[in-house]
Amino acid sequence: MKVQKIVSLDVETAELASNMTNFSAFVRASLRAEAVGMDLASESARRARWARAAHTLAEMCFGYAKALWEEDRVDHTYENYEQLLYAVLEQTTMEDFE
């Protein structure tokens, strides 16, 4: 949920903000960095590492699902391994996996 919050800028900072592609994202990242005692560069690097790790994990999950599919080690009620993986990713409780 997004909440509106007004920020007062002077002429110089308004010009800087107008040249940014996403000023709100910059403000959110700056606030998060401040909350954990980091500078903005360190917070941005941490988020970039997290994004790369999430991307790598997703690639591994797709690769594993594809291998299982090709080895015929899964229930073929789905049309392809992508549908199988999406179904797994939508499960949120242990009971859903049974």
pLDDT at 98 over 70: no
Query: What are the structural domain ranges in the chain?
Result: 1-37, 50-98
Q: pLDDT of 9-22, one tens digit each? A: 999 999 999 999 99
pTM for the predicted model, two decimal places:
0.54
Residue 11 confidence (pLDDT): 96
How confident is the model over 31-37, as a mean pLDDT? 90
- Write b or e for each residue in 36-60: b if 16 or more Cβ atoms lie within 10 A of its Cβ, otherwise e: eeeeeeebbeeeeeeeeeeeeeeee
Residue 72 confidence (pLDDT): 84
